[in-house]
Amino acid sequence: MADDLYARYMKAAAANRAHSATCSRCSPDGRCETGQHLEAEFQDAYLKKKR
Ligand SMILES: [Zn+2]
């Protein structure tokens, strides 16, 4: 339950970070389509984890 959410959060955070580090189309000012998707997943997991 909570462990699943935490695992999902960690996975989303890692994927988001890894993408940002390697994607040439993402910048602090804006994310590419994939980057936006990963960021949305991360935000979603983060908000669910907090509850
Ligand atoms: Zn990107």
Per-residue pLDDT band at 50 (split at 50, 70, 90): confident
Rounded to an integer, the average pLDDT of 20-45 is 95
Q: How far apart are CA 11 and CA 28, in angstroms?
A: 21
Give distance in angstroms: CA of 4 to centre of ligand 1.
Answer: 26
Give distance in angstroms: CA of 10 to centre of ligand 1.
Answer: 19
Count CA atoms within 13 Å of residue 29 on its CB side. Answer: 2
Give distance in angstroms: CA of 11 to centre of ligand 1.
Answer: 17
Rounded to an integer, the average pLDDT of 14-25 is 96
Tell me the whole-structure pTM to 2 decimals.
0.82
Rounded to an integer, the average pLDDT of 23-34 is 94
Per-residue pLDDT band at 1 (split at 50, 70, 90): low
Give distance in angstroms: CA of 7 to centre of ligand 1.
Answer: 23
Per-residue pLDDT band at 49 (split at 50, 70, 90): confident
Q: What is the DSSP string of 1-51?
A: -HHHHHHHHHHHHHHHHHHHHH-SS-BTTB--HHHHHHHHHHHHHHHHHH-
Q: How far apart are CA 38 and CA 17, in angstroms?
A: 9
